[in-house]
Amino acid sequence: MSCLRSALEELAVGRGPGLFALVTEGGETVFTGGVGTADLADPRPIGSEDRFRVASVTKLYTATVVLQLAAEGRLPPASSVEHWLPGLLPDGDRITVEHLLRMRSGLADYVWAVLGDPPRVARLRRYFSPRDLVRTALAQLGREEPGRRWRYSNTDYILLGLIIEQVTGQPVQDVLRERIFQPLGLTATSMPISDLHLPDPHVRGYLRMDAETGYVDCTEYTPSEAWTSGAIVSTPPDVARFLDALLGGRLLSPAWLAAMRAVEPARMDLEYGMGLFRYHLPDGTALYGHGGVHFGVECYAFRSDTGRTVVLHQNSWDRVAGAIPRDNPFICAAFASNEFHEP
């Protein structure tokens, strides 16, 4: 697969410390490749078995559980936040579960108030409770009318996590394990709550704020700040297996999967459904999935309706090089190729 290797190397120029990509077709691995290093202090290639924080790709898992509970008649999408979490939100009776799933609650995001601007990893060395995050969001300016428009807000997915716990009576990490991780055999996937450290083996994560300072290690921090909006830890094969199972119809019935995929305009070239984006490549190919950015990671997980899946991640939040474009050389090459042969 020299074309994909070349595309990955092209994408890696000016980025780092490392990038890793996995491509599957019909659930079978057809390409894996890495550029750069998993660890600047002890250089080594990034491997498929290396865990990384999947950041906002977590929202796909959270939305899946909510829709499973909806399919069981336990969590109607039209039910209100007030019904499940009484007194938590002002006017919570006007915000529905579906508003949260579709990011149309009108609630402000808590993230920058927690991370700081510029962001500092030292701020994430303590535990944040989900309700603390919601209270932080409520203290921010810019709240809008529920349902008026799409606006990216991690707050919505923190509220969904609290609702999952209210409906099931279980910690959300246990619900995810019982409903998704264990049934799919995702043995390298977990949702830590307060542990600063990633399970081994894992990539080191870095932050580059400016060219002069360079890459600063920011691997250790509490995932509690992200929780059900971004705390899952996994590997590329596990992420691909989950995405194949979800979009292949193994986790949701056809009707509920169709509801998840029913997208509306979001921002720029993106559309949003319930917990997932739809993006069209320049050639018109529609991709479904999610991306994520946090301290030490930027990643994408997308699948086409032909059954091809790409998981791509770099072990840095690189504010010098900027965000990885969705229509980057690797993703375009991976979905454009007509045939694959195991390297």
d(CA 199, CA 201): 6
Under 8 Å CB-to-CB from 191, ≥6 apart: which residues? 58, 172, 173, 176, 177, 223, 231, 232, 233
Provide the residue type at 194 as one letter. Answer: S
In this structure, the strands spanning 215-217 and 206-208 are antiparallel
Tokens 């083996």, residue located: 201
Catalytic residue among 56, 105, 153, 229: 56
The answer to whether 45 and 210 are in contact (CB under 8 A) is: no
Q: How far apart are the first and last CA of the chain?
A: 6
56 tagged catalytic:
yes
HEC letters along 167-196: HHCCCHHHHHHHHHHCCCCCCCCECCCCCC
Question: DSSP labels for 54-76?
Answer: -GGGHHHHHHHHHHHHHHTTSS-
The answer to whether 257 and 250 are in contact (CB under 8 A) is: no
Active site residues: 56
